Structures are given as structure tokens and as C-alpha cells.
Structure 1
Amino acid sequence: MGYECLLALDKKYGDELKNATLILGNGSSISYSSKFAYSSLYDEAAFTDEEKQLFDKFKTNNFEYILRKLFQASEVNKVLELDQGKKVNSVYENIRLKLIETIRCIHPVMSDIDPATVHDKVFRIMMDYRYIIDLNYDFLLYWILSNNGFLSSFPIEENGARRNVFQGSPFQYFYDGFRKNCGTHLSFDYDFVEEEIRKEEKTGIFYPHGNLLFVRDKFAGETLKIKSDGDLFDVVDKDWEKGYTPLFISEGTANKKMNSIR
């Protein structure tokens, strides 16, 4: 579902969606840029001939499908004591990193987001949901939620009903659990989030597939959220140069995925 479809949902169901859970799949990102489609990511990625043969073998351009197959092959190799050089593991990691790098390269800039749609409509509609689950790796949802400049303090009428346009920081109305300062990053503090839920109603944001916003601490293995007062891409690049690992949940089994999500 693209973000613009939220407007149609709101028009049709209105208050019935209040406190519902919204799941944003790949279509929401594709609605802003067709480059987020798997076929486009595949075309842009700098695969070796050997890596391309894997995609050809399984007749797919889906990164995550190939990563799952490689993970399964690695598990079989462990049991049968094969691939002592761990080539399968190496190919897995190379393709995973190419997925991250390709998304980074093709990602649209913030100015590509239409302010009239985002600021006046989509943001307010998202505030009515109890939870938003974003399955995408990109910055689009974060940009929608964090872009200031439109919040005001007067009621408006829309679709025959009056709505309040809120004033202040967007993150007075949304939370993702990353609050605790940890140097140049934010760390996750679940107890703090639970306390905030009791203090005031907020919409919870979750990224179960990971996101460009998150990295694994290279020393402690903790999941951190990048902080930036400027260009997020600059911070991402600097983090990668420092050895932080981007957090993309692309493990091969449900149990492995669940461990990473947790």
C-alpha cells in the first residue's frame, strides 16, 4: 500500500481506523520511487557473474529470497562439514551488503517527498493509528514523521468532520523506543517507552526488517539509532566507514529473524 492510499482508507473508514495497526510493505516505498522495486534494486546492484548465476538459477530478482537460500545452504554445510572455506557465508555477506549499498545509492532525497501530501494529510492520519509497522529499509517514513514546519494549532474540517492540527514536535505524538543518548547514537530503552505510553497516547513505530536508521554497535553488538541534525546519508556513510554494521534483518529462518528483531 502506498502512502497516498492512506487518504482513501481514511475517507472510507474514518474513526474506525483509530488505534488500529498499520503495516507498510514494499508498495509504500515504491509509491514514492519505482527504484525501490526488487527488479530495480537488482538492476542497480554491482553483482559478480557468479552472484548473478544464483539469481538466474532460482529465477528471481528478490535479494531476500537468495539470502534465505544461501543461509539454508550454510546450515546444511555445517551439518555435513562441507565448505570449510566458508565460501557460501562470504557470498551471503557480499549480497547482503550490496542490498544495503544499492538502497543507499538509489534512495530519493528528502525534497522528493510532496509536502502537500505529507504535511497536510498523511502525517495527521498516521497519528490516529496505535502502531505503525514499517517493513522497509528506507528513510521515507522517518522523513514524514520528523519533517517540521507544518504543525499549527487550529481545528480544520475535512470529509465533513473536524480534526485538530497539532502544534509542536512530531515526536510528541510518535515513539520508536530509541531515546537514551549513547555518544553519537540513540540506544533502545524499552522501559522508558512503556512509561511514555502511560503518560500520553502515542503511535508506536516498529521496524521489524531493520532500517538504514539503525546500526549494530561494533563493540557491544547493541542496536543503535543514528542521530543527525543534517543529512542522514552523511551520517550513514560515516558510520559505515567507522565499522558500524547496518541493521537489515535478512537472516534465513524465522527463529534467526526473531532473534535479530528482539
Structure 2
Amino acid sequence: MKLTFDQKKWEEISDDFDSIVFGNGLSISISPDFRYDSLFDHAVSSGWINDGARDLFEHLKTKNFEEALRVLSDSNDVVHIIEGSRREGLDCAHQKIKESLISSIGGLHKRYESVVDKIDRLAKEIKKFKYVFCLNYDLLMYWAVVEANKIQKNRVKDCFVAGGFSENWQKMEVPYKGNDKSTLVFYPHGNMAIFRFGDSDIKVSAKGHDLLSEIGCRIGDGASITFVSEGTSSKKLESIVRSNYLKKVYFECMGKVGSNLVIHGWSMSDNDQHLVDRIVMSGALNRVAVGVNKIDMDKIDAWKVRLEKSLKKHLLDVHVTFYEASQFLA
């Protein structure tokens, strides 16, 4: 394996890539409330995290939900090995923390009108790609898809038809009437707008941009959102295969990542190694662009280590270009 590196401005490379993966850094750049510390503080003040769970976060010296979920999951695995069964209390705590995360995202979510300028810029950027993979649960990408289609109908598609994910999603790669290109958007870890109904995952919609209220009503009625937030890569993959939509995105759609990829706002942490493994499975990846906040050598060196660790077992020769992340929606 050989990695080579350079630095460029986003505008110099923005038309050179077919696929992009967005992580929480994108959402934070639009709304800082999506930082883990803000989400945690909101969950505590709203009473969604009880004293026991809060003590766990304090003991771990973190406000990262996935870190707390990882510890709970690992602890229950150890109990199961030693005692032969899982602890109901640990399972319950795990589920409550997952629910508090999605509730905090909804509680702190900006209304469409307050972020419309950045949503418009995001809509213009995603149209440059063939495939967009968004790991965020919020509605910012959902709104960007709506915005992108205002001028060109079905220019950007999430492959949901009448609420359900199309079994023939590959046909949507063909541009809609009169369009010169087509962009497909997928949510590998789920989204607030996708709900589980039996064995099906259904995307909800609402008139105008009052989707947040519609989602709140459905949650209030006991509906379950399709999303993955487990603390380890293996547990996330287990959750993925339990959802027909997430399973299709992981095993089929992510296979569309070819020789080039942009990583924007995604830390590529150990608990997302399953995504890295799927992306590079074809062996074709040879060029990657990585958005870095306030480029300096320490951050670039840290990314080099991260990339080498994530890609080493795949023995790929990859050229990596670093760009200033703030330029993406400038």
C-alpha cells in the first residue's frame, strides 16, 4: 500500500469526483447545535438522560453518545460471556441513550427558513456528484434534495417511490426527462425521515417544509425511526442488516463508489470501519479528497495516520488531496 498527498482549494477539484460521503461535520457547519456537547446538554436538560446515564457519561469524561453506547454494549457482551445472558438494565440504558440522541437532534433542529441559504449552496454542490452518501440523521440533506429539484425535476433522487425504497433503484441512475445528469442520495446509517413499519422502511413527507412537526407527531404515536448509532463497527453492521433499506444501501448502493471519493465532515473513526471496508471492497479506489478544518500540519498528519490505519489491510495505492472544509459551502 502506498499513500501520496497534496493540498488544493476545493474549487480546483470540485468537479473531479463522482462520489462523496458526508459526516456530522457537514451538519455542524450549517448548525453548531449538532455538536455532541450541545446534543448531550439538551438531552440532560430535557430529562431524556437519567442520572445513571449521566453518571456514565461523566465517568467516561465524554459527551459522545456513541462512546457511551459502545461501553454499554461491550459491558453487556462481557456479562453474556460470563453469565450466559444479557442484563436487561444495560439493554434498557442503551436504548434510552439512542432515543435521547435522536430526540435531541429533533429538539435542536433548525427550521428550514433559518438555514435556507446554506441548504441552497449544499443543493448546488451535491449535483456535482453521481452518488451521495449522508451519514447524518438530521433533515439538512433531505431539504437539499428538495431544493435541488425545484429547478430541474428529479435531478437528485433518494430512490424512494411512494414512500418505499425502489427495488429497481439502479434505473434511477438514468437522468430524468431533459436532465443531463442524475445524482442519487443514500443514508447508510438511516435518517429522521425514514421510519420502520414492520419489515419496511418508509420515508415520510409533509407539505411545505413542516417535516419536523410531522416527524414529531409520528414519534409521539410510537413510530420508530430507522437509524444506526451503535458504538462499535460490528454492532452497527448488525443493525444495518436488520433493515431492508440499510442493507440494500450497504451491500448494493455503496458498491457504486468507484475510483474516487470525497470525504467531508466524516472522521472515519474505528466504529465506522464497516463503511470503509465496503467502500474499498471493489479495489478500484485510487483517489480521495478529505475536507479538513483550518488546515495545519498537525491535522494533516493525524489524517494521514487515520487513512493508513483504515486502508492498510486493503493494500491500495491512493492519492489523497486535502482541502479546507469551510470552502465547501462558501
* TM-aligned CA distance change 1:251 to 1:15, over 3 Å: closer
Q: Greater relative contact order: 1 or 2 (C-alpha under 8 angstroms, separation 6 or more)? A: 2
Corresponding residue for residue 183 of structure 2: 203
- The partner residue of 1:190 within 145, 161, 167 is 167
- Mapped partners of 1:177, 1:148: distance in 2: 15
Aligned partner of 1:256 in structure 2 is 235
Q: Aligned-pair distance for 1:105? A: 0.5
Moved more, 40-49 or 248-257: 248-257
How far the C-alpha of 1:70 sits from its partner, in A, is 1.1
3-state SS, counterpart of residue 15 of structure 1: coil
The answer as to whether partners of 2:132 and 2:186 remain within 8 angstroms in 1 is yes
Q: After TM superposition, give the deviation of residue 104 of structure 1 in Å.
A: 0.7
Stretches of structure 2 lacking an aligned partner (at least 5 in a row):
1-8, 241-245, 248-330
2:171 maps to amino acid: E
The alignment yields a C-alpha RMSD, in angstroms, of 2.2
Moved more, 206-215 or 195-204: 195-204
Q: What is the TM-score of this pair, normalised by structure 2?
A: 0.62
Q: Which residue among 220, 235, 241 is the counterpart of 1:241?
A: 220
Change (3 A) 1:40 1:199: closer
Report the Cα distance in structure 2 between the residues aligned to 1:21 and 1:229, rounded to whole angstroms.
30
C-alpha separation in 1, matches of 2:223 and 2:148: 29
- Is 1:12 the equivalent of 2:15? no
Which moves more between the two structures, 125-134 or 199-208?
199-208
Aligned runs of 1:73-88 on 2, under 5 Å? 73-81=75-83, 86-88=88-90
Q: Which amino acid aligns with 2:227?
A: F
SS in 1 for 2:225: strand
CA apart distance, 1:148: 7.0
Per the alignment, residue 109 of structure 1 pairs with: 111
Q: CA deviation at 1:15?
A: 3.0
Percent identity over the alignment?
Answer: 28
Whether the aligned pair in 1 keeps the contact of 2:123 and 2:148 (CA below 8 Å) is: no
Counterpart of 1:67?
A: 69
Question: Which of 32, 36, 39 lines up with 2:37 in the alignment?
Answer: 39
Contact 2:145 2:157 in 1 (8 A): no
Alignment of 1:222 onto 2:200: yes
Change (3 A) 1:14 1:237: closer
In structure 2, what is the Cα distance between the partners aligned to 1:93 and 1:125? 36
Distance in 2 (alpha carbons) for counterparts of 1:99 and 1:122: 24
How far apart are residue 216 of structure 1 and its match? Answer: 1.1
Distance 1:122 1:251 in 2: 28
CA contact (8 A) 2:57 2:68 kept: yes
Q: Is the 8 A contact 1:69 1:252 kept in 2?
A: yes
Q: Quick check: 221-230 or 247-256, which moved more?
A: 247-256
Contact in 2 for aligned 1:188/1:223 (Cα 8 Å): yes
- What amino acid maps onto 2:212 in structure 1? F
Residues 76-225 of structure 1 mapped to structure 2, 5 A cutoff: 76-81=78-83, 86-115=88-117, 117-119=118-120, 121-147=121-147, 167-169=151-153, 172-179=154-161, 181=162, 186-191=163-168, 193-198=169-174, 201-217=181-197, 220-225=198-203
Q: 1:15-69 CA distances to partner (integer Å, 9 max, x unpaired)? A: 323xx21121111111111110011111111322211111112111100111122
Return the alpha-carbon distance in structure 2 between the equivalents of residues 53 and 40 of structure 1. Answer: 17
Structure-2 separation of matches of 1:175 and 1:30: 24
Contact 2:159 2:172 in 1 (8 A): no
- CA drift of 1:235 comes to 1.3
5+ residue gaps, structure 1, are 1-7, 152-166
Q: Which amino acid aligns with 1:131?
A: Y
> 1:226 and 1:70, CA in 2 relative to 1: closer, same or farther beyond 3 A?
same
Matches of 2:37 and 2:14 in 1, distance apart? 35
Amino acid at match of 1:210: G
- Aligned to 2:226, what secondary structure does the other structure show? strand
Distance 1:35 1:254 in 2: 25
Change (3 A) 1:35 1:118: closer
For the structure 1 residues 194 and 148, does the alpha-carbon distance in structure 2 shift closer, same or farther, using more than 3 Å as the test? closer
Residues of 2 paired with 1:122 and 1:212: CA distance? 19
